[in-house]
Amino acid sequence: MAAPLTFNGIHSSPTAPVDWDRIAARARSMRRSKAVALYAFLIAVSLPIILPYFWLVTIAFSARTGVADTVVLWRSVAVLAPAVIAFWLAAVLARNRRQLWLGLTAIALAATAAFAWLVGPDLHLRNFIFLVEPDFASVVRSRVGAVHGAIQFPSVWRAFGNSLLIAGSQTIVVLTVASLAAYYLSRFQFPARAAMLRSLLILHAFPVLTLIVPMFLMLYWIGLLDTLFGVICVLVAFELPFAIFIMKGFFDAVPWDIEMSALTDGASRRQAFLLVVLPQVRNGLLAVAVFTFIRGWEEYIFVFTFLIRNTNWTMSLYMYYVRDDVMGVDYGVVSAVGVFYLVPSLILYVAAQRYLMQMSIGGVKG
Amino acid sequence: MSAVTDLAVERRYRAASAVRRRTNFVLFLGPAIALTFLFFVIPVLIDIAVSFTDLDRTLRISKFTTEQYQKVFRGDSRLPQVIGLTVVYVFGTLAIFNVTFGLVLALTTTSLNKVSGGFFRGVWLLPRMSPSVLYILLWLWVINPSDVGLLNQFLMPALGLARPLDLMTSAPVALIIIANGFIGASLGMIIFTAAIRGIPEHLFYAAEVDGAGTLAKIRFITLPALRWPISFVTIYQTLSLLVSFEYILLLTKGGPFYDTTVFALYVYRRAFTSGQYGYGAALALFLIVIGAAAALLGWRFFDFKRLLQHPRIEVH
Amino acid sequence: MAKVEFRHVVKRFGDVEVIPDLNLTIEDGEFVALLGPSGCGKSTSLFILAGIYLPSGGELLFDGRVVNEVEAKDRNVGIVFQSYALYPHMTVRDNVLFPLRFKRMPREEALARVAAAGNLVQVTELLDRRPGELSGGQQQRVALARALVKEPQLLLLDEPLSNLDATLRLTMRTEIKSLQKKLGVTTVLVTHDQIEATTMADRIICLRAGRIEQIGQPDDLYRRPQSLFIAGFIGSPPINMISGEARDGVMCVGSVVFPFEGAPGAVTVGLRPEHLRFTGSGLSGRIAQLEPMGREILYVVDTVAGYLRVLEHGSIAAHAVGEPVRIGFSPDDSLVFDTACQTLVAAARVGPPA
């Protein structure tokens, strides 16, 4: 027979007193050391990421002679790090909202003043001259002397325009084709439907980078190598399965009754699609649009392989050759171009952040 | 209305409907099918075909031969090294960063309050959100083998070195693993965070009251709930690491020599740098087959029935 | 004497103050119910007892010593959640075994304890199943076993019966109550169902918006509710309320005059449906509706003083809809409340109109 359970209630029997004070004290210290350890660890591992990006920005605004001067960086850090810590302490210690706002404003003012005094004089925008000066290489040469490499640089605005063209066209085409295909797959019955859905599943997970060699040959034989049009076609096709997959998910979520009532109201299915269903998946369209645009903007491998002439350069290629050409010579200009390239990406990512979460998990079992 | 005219009306209606059905098919699915066929199916066929030729820098085919495959299996002395490196790279990055560190990041950031946790997750997403060229540019600055490199600025005083470190030559494999790892960790971090957030809160309360400390809660509640996400990330990222070489190409270009040339990059170098398109196609075929197999395997993770949801309107 | 004590306990979530100032003592071995509508802070108080929430202010004392900062795992408390919170990937045996992992005892002893706990709540045949395969009632018993296996000094139940169907609720009510009597463990039950509270607890603590409205035995709350809120909350079917103006020995409700004993002023009279009878004289009205409830019938009567509910025993209706009736009651059964501050005026009584 199992030993019976005994219930002593909460009185401390003399033989086994419970020392609540000691337990409470131990719990308190454990809680504090856990919090400290967590923050210390996260700050330690995140610093290698924060510092280089911060460096990029400071050098873009401060480098004079083209050297990757870290003095400005350290001075900025010396102002910002205490400011961040002070912000955090204020948030933790403030007892009500008013105190919090007073504290934050005071710290912000102090930090700005310190920053202006220590770092301000070093800041300038001369590194961003590439935005207005078409002959980029000569500008650099005039500043730092001889420049290695004989690559002729196009105007950065041309590269910007190319990137915009590629990303933009890709987005529009993908949106159109994917919406049409996804709608049909989602809402129509036809003989090969199951087979097509199966292949969609396989295609959207297929790694397209493996096809780069035959793709190159194919473009060459068609005559589309070194054309923006060819690159756009390739990027569109490779992005398509994933976009269709996502859009189908959104179309599946639209309730059937809306469409049914549109049909009974006299619309044809195409009209129902345009007037009634499409507005319902606006979120999906936005998500796919942003995601596709970002991919087009950041694309490197395919443009690197398929584009040759420098008039066809995109921002990614521009960055690559700027780094190759002036690396070690004019850090200031390189980082300025970098910031110019980075900012649109970040803005788009932050804007699309909501959708990205849904997309990466949608449809996965378990 | 007589029965004959009714029949005629019906026949005409059905004919019109059939025409509409066909046009709808072409209109909606046509472009997608055409593009998919042209850019997925044809390249695979081209690849298979070219792998049996001797296509090289001259971009002219003179004969059909199996010599590329003979080269793959016997003739290439570099290949074993490349394959070995690929194995080390894929498993190293996967084990250390994508899965393990992704898990650590998810666990630590979810233990903080929402704002702080979100901040750190945002920082770790920065590499993934930056264009690859820019991310590698920052890496090149960090490991710059002079005293302006960020890493050397820290390590030289810290370790008391006389000359600056050059990671590119002294530890290139570690370099590519870490550089790719930062990117990979962020995907695991997002997926695991979402899964952790999905665990009902009361399970944690029950465990707390039952006597479980932090580690016990992770072991008994969090990890069992992460079994599916972990296997998903593992399989998905294994494939991703096998076929992608963009960051490696930008960072080390595969060097020094071939020390950091993984299989996918090897294909690229042989095809485009050395101009051996036929050989490159043969090598690429292996990757294509692996990619297709993995895509099929990944099928298990998807709820196909939900994907197949039958349409409820039958007219066109 | 050993006990649990809340001393000026405050709990805030961000800017929302759920519990403003709680003072409460729970004696050793008691079965106490925290009763109240949703959002009144009863579950919050329970979680503070368990150590899941820490008080924002005030002190929680076990045995006279402050335990605010003692973590849940060190408090030796057992809790049964409304959702049962069984670990889905473990068998029932492993679920019940879980708390014993952290007590560092030999495996045989742990398994023996699991068997004993399983016997107590009768889940012995289910030990090898998984929570997903169990019914609601079975899951609840497993949760109970898990809470009891560690011989807790305090047993906490968060709305344990709300997810069960009516018959199961009845059986579990009796089981839990007899279990508590047998084991003598101090138990705190949280519920919004006043029947649960009155049938199971030794003492009921009625909460509203984080404050204690009344503490007493089930009988007290029923017969002497200190406020309109309690009167309306306790008792099913709910009490009838008649508001009127009292002066000079009478209370006027519209054109009807009730004999009144007590101080003048605006009063609200509470009359329980079971205390009202159909008589020859009294308040006149017309039957608007009748609801047969098996062994009783509930009549809704339209009177000048509003709709009144009358509960009569028996399954055969003596009156029909539309029938004129007169309602009488004993003045001793009347509960008079001051309309302004909603509290009971103990000395006042009201009688049926002539």
Q: Is the preceding omega at residue B31 within 30 degrees of 0, hence cis? A: no
Judged by CB atoms closer than 8 Å, whether chains meet at C83 and B216 is answered as: no
DSSP A328: T
pLDDT digits (tens, 9 = 90+) for A50-66: 888 888 888 787 766 65
| Whether the Cβ atoms of residue A167 and residue A329 lie closer than 8 Å to each other | no
Q: Please tell me if residue A4 touches chain C, with a CB cutoff of 8 Å.
A: yes
Q: Taking CA atoms, what residue in C is nearest to B224? A: C89
Nearest by CB: C85 against B205, B211, B224: B205
Residue contact B220–C73, C-beta within 8 A: no
* Subunit contact A7:C151, Cβ cutoff 8 A: yes
> Does C85 contact B212 at a Cβ distance shorter than 8 Å?
no
Strand partners, C9: C22
Round to whole Å and give the CA distance between C96 and C106. Answer: 15
Which chains would you list as touching B if contact means 3+ CB atom pairs under 8 Å?
Answer: A, C
Contacts of B102 in chain A (CB under 8 A): none
Query: Which of A73, A210, A346 has the highest number of chain B CBs within 10 A, making it the mutation to test binding with B?
Result: A210
CA geometry: angle C239, C241, C242, nearest 5 deg? 150
pLDDT in tens, A256-281: 888 888 888 878 888 888 888 888 88
pLDDT at C294 over 90: no
Residue A233 touches partner B, C-beta closer than 8 Å: yes
Query: What pLDDT does residue B213 have?
Result: 87
Average the pLDDT over A313-332 and give the result: 72
pLDDT greater than 90 at residue B157 = no
Render pLDDT for B51-95 as a digit per residue (tens, 0 to 9). Answer: 888 887 777 777 777 777 888 888 778 888 899 999 999 999 999
Residues of C in contact with A25 (CB under 8 A): 69
**Span of A134-148, A185-199, B129-143, B201-215 with lowest mean pLDDT:** A134-148
How confident is the model at residue A128, as a pLDDT? 72
pLDDT of residue A7: 54
Task: Look at B213 and C73 and tell me if their CB atoms are within 8 Å.
Answer: yes
Residue A342 and residue B142: Cβ atoms within 8 Å?
A: no
pLDDT tens, residue by residue, A161-193: 888 999 999 999 999 999 999 999 888 888 888
Taking only the tens place, the pLDDT of each residue in B107-134 is: 999 988 888 888 898 899 889 888 898 8
Residue B8 in this model has a pLDDT that exceeds 50: yes
- Residues in chain B with CB shorter than 8 Å from the CB of C78 are 209
Q: Kindly list the structural domains of chain C, giving each domain's residue range(s) and its CATH number in brackets, ordered by start.
A: 4-224 (3.40.50.300), 237-350 (2.40.50.140)
Q: B204: burial class by Cβ within 10 Å (0-12, 13-18, 19+)? A: middle
Which among A252, A260, A345 has the least Cβ separation from residue B131?
A: A345
User: What is the DSSP annotation of A256-272?
Assistant: HHHHHHHHHTT--HHHH
B302's CB contacts (< 8 A; 6+ apart) are A201, A363, A364, A365
> For position B25, what pLDDT does the model report?
85
Q: What is the pLDDT of residue A14?
A: 42
Does residue A321 contact residue A313 with C-beta atoms inside 8 Å? yes
Instruction: Flag the least confident range among B160-174, C49-63, C207-221, C333-347.
Output: B160-174
Across the range C5-9, mean pLDDT stands at 93
Instruction: Give the separation between CA C35 and CA C45, rounded to whole angstroms.
Output: 11
pLDDT at residue A360 greater than cutoff 50: no
Contact B211 C150 (CB under 8 A): yes
Write out pLDDT tens, residues A277-295. 888 888 888 888 988 998 8
Select from B209, B216, B225 the Cβ nearest to the Cβ of C77: B209
Residue A359 has pLDDT above 60, yes or no: no
**A188 contact B CB<8A:** yes
Task: Map residue A3 onto helix, strand or coil.
Answer: coil
SS3 of C124, please?
helix
Q: Tokens 């006042």 belong to which residue? A: C348
Handedness of CA B279, B280, B282, B286 (dihedral sign): positive
Rounded-to-integer distance, Cα B83 and Cα B91, Å? 12
* Residue A202 pLDDT grade (very low, low, confident, very high; cuts 50, 70, 90): confident
Q: Which of A64-68, A268-272, B166-170, C348-352 has the highest mean pLDDT?
A: C348-352
Tokens coding A43: 């700050």
Q: Which of C111, C153, C156, C183 is best to mutate for the A interface (most A CBs within 10 A)?
A: C153
Encode pLDDT of B275-312 as tens digits: 888 888 888 999 999 888 888 877 766 666 667 777 77
Alpha helix ranges (H) inside chain C:
42-50, 92-101, 107-121, 136-148, 166-183, 194-200, 218-223, 228-233
CB contact, 8 Å: B203 with chain C? Answer: yes
Alpha-carbon distances, residue C154 vs A10, A303, B48 (angstroms): 7, 69, 73
Task: Place A6 in a pLDDT band, splitting at 50, 70 and 90.
Answer: low
Q: How far apart are CA B207 and CA A168, in angstroms?
A: 52
Q: Determine contact: B200 vs chain C, CB below 8 A.
A: yes
Contact A240 B139 (CB under 8 A): no
CA distance A181 to A187: 10
Residue with structure tokens 């609601």?
C136
Indicate whether A144 pLDDT > 60: no
- Chain A CB contacts of B44 under 8 Å are 211, 214
Q: Which of B199, B204, B205, B209 to mutate to test the interface with C (most CBs of C within 10 A)?
A: B209
Q: Which residue of B has its CA nearest to A41?
A: B108
Given this model, what pLDDT does residue A334 score?
Answer: 77
What average pLDDT does the structure give for chain C? Answer: 89
Per-residue pLDDT of B239-263, as tens digits, reads 889 888 999 998 888 878 888 889 9
Task: Name which of A137-151, A329-343, B131-145 the model is least confident about.
Answer: A137-151
For strands C203-208 and C31-35, give the pairing. Answer: parallel
pLDDT reported for residue B205: 93
Binning pLDDT at 50, 70 and 90, where does residue B49 land? confident
| pLDDT mean across residues, chain A | 78
* A7 contacts C67? CB cut-off 8 A: no
What is the DSSP code string of C193-224? -HHHHHHH-SEEEEEETTEEEEEE-HHHHHHS
- Name the residue facing C112 among A2, A7, A20 (closest C-beta): A2
How many CB contacts within 8 angstroms connect chain B with chain C? 62
3-class SS letters over chain B: CCHHHHHHHHHHHHHHHHHHHHHHHHHHHHHHHHHHHHHHHHHHHHHHHHHCECCCCCCCCCCECCHHHHHHHHHCCCHHHHHHHHHHHHHHHHHHHHHHHHHHHHHHHHHCCHHHHHHHHHHHHHHHHCCHHHHHHHHHHHCCCCCCCHHHHHHHHHHCCCCCCCHHHHCHHHHHHHHHHHHHHHHHHHHHHHHHHCCCHHHHHHHHHHCCCHHHHHHHHHHHHCHHHHHHHHHHHHHHHHHCCHHHHHHCCCCCCCCCCCHHHHHHHHHHHCCCHHHHHHHHHHHHHHHHHHHHHHHHHECHHHHHCCCCCCCC
The alpha carbon of residue B295 is apart from the nearest alpha carbon of chain A, in Å, by 5
* Domains with residue ranges and CATH for chain B: 67-305 (1.10.3720.10)
Helix B114-129 to helix B172-197 angle, to the nearest 10 degrees? Answer: 140
Higher pLDDT, A54 or C158: C158
Provide, as residue numbers in chain A, all residues whose Cβ is less than 8 Å from the Cβ of C69: 24-25, 27-28, 31
Q: Chain B residues with CB inside 8 Å of A331's CB? A: 141
> What's the N-to-C CA distance of chain A in angstroms?
43
Q: Is 80 exceeded by the pLDDT of residue A331?
A: no
Inform me whether the C-beta atom of residue B224 falls under 8 Å from chain C C-beta atoms: yes
Check residue A261 and give its pLDDT.
Answer: 83
For residue B294, give every residue at least 6 positions away whose Cβ sits within 8 Å of its Cβ, in sequence order, or none.
Answer: A205, A207, B235, B238, B239
Q: Is B46 on the interface with C (CB under 8 A)?
A: no
Give the model confidence (pLDDT) of B9-30 as tens digits. Answer: 888 888 888 888 888 888 888 8
Instruction: Report whether the peptide linkage leading into residue A48 is cis, meaning its omega lies within 30 degrees of zero.
Output: no
> Under an 8 A CB cutoff, do C116 and A5 touch?
yes
- pTM score over 0.80: yes
User: In chain B, which residue's Cα lies nearest the Cα of A337?
Assistant: B134
Closest-CA residue of chain B to A321: B133
Q: Which of A338, A234, A251 is nearest to A295 (CA)?
A: A234
Residue B228 confidence class, pLDDT cut points 50, 70, 90: confident
Instruction: Please say if the pLDDT value at position A145 is more than 60.
Output: no
Residue A127 is predicted with a pLDDT of: 67
Q: Which residues of A touch B33 (CB under 8 A)?
A: 181
Nearest chain A residue to B284 by CA: give it: A210
C86-141 pLDDT, tens digit each: 998 889 999 999 999 888 888 898 899 999 888 888 899 989 999 999 998 899 99
Q: What is the pLDDT of residue A174?
A: 95
At residue B254, φ and ψ (nearest 5 deg) are 95, -5
Residue A90 has pLDDT above 50, yes or no: yes
Round to whole Å and give the CA distance between B280 and B291: 16
> Which residue in A185, A341, A360 is closest to B134 by CB distance?
A341
Average pLDDT (C193-212) is 91
Cβ–Cβ gap C151/A20 under 8 Å: no
Please report how many Cα atoms fall inside a 13 Å half-sphere around the Cα of residue B158, on the Cβ side. 7
Distances (CA, A) of A156 to A96, A152, A311: 50, 12, 10
Share of chain C above pLDDT 90, in %: 41
